[in-house]
Amino acid sequence: MHRLVPEKLVTVITTDVLEQRLVALVRRRGASGYTLLRARGAGSDGLQSGNLEIDTNLLLKVILPPDRMSGLLDDLNALIGQGYHLTVFVSDVAVLNHEKFERPMTT
């Protein structure tokens, strides 16, 4: 039987203007890595087609041990308080190779 370890998946949808700031926050909070994708869709702020540089959203996914998640959420909440539009949600996930998520990024 495989041993799955509980972790937290933090997902952020926001403007690509925040890309470098988000990456810096993730690094500072000791994440082992992240996944970043361009995103299109529609919501309460209207249509985000991604057809123009000024009309592009991104989707950031980070898996963290539960003890590192709170600091990242504080950082994201601070960005919201500064007027940035972020959609942030947290999911419970189970990972197979949990040692990978315990080590912060090296580069």
pLDDT in tens, 72-107: 999 999 999 999 999 999 999 999 876 766 777 776
> Which residues contact residue 106 at a Cβ distance below 8 angstroms, ignoring those fewer than 6 apart?
none
Number of separate domains in the chain: 1
**Domain that includes residue 25, residue range:** 5-95
As a whole number of angstroms, the distance between CA 42 and CA 103 comes to 36
Identify whether 19 is part of a domain: yes
Identify whether 106 is part of a domain: no
Total-model pTM: 0.83
Identify whether 104 is part of a domain: no
Strands 35-39 and 5-15: unpaired
Identify whether 105 is part of a domain: no
Identify whether 20 is part of a domain: yes
Q: Domain containing 61 — which CATH number? A: 3.30.70.120
Q: What percentage of the chain exceeds 90 in pLDDT?
A: 58
Identify whether 107 is part of a domain: no
Could you identify the residue written with the tokens 């926001």?
Answer: 14
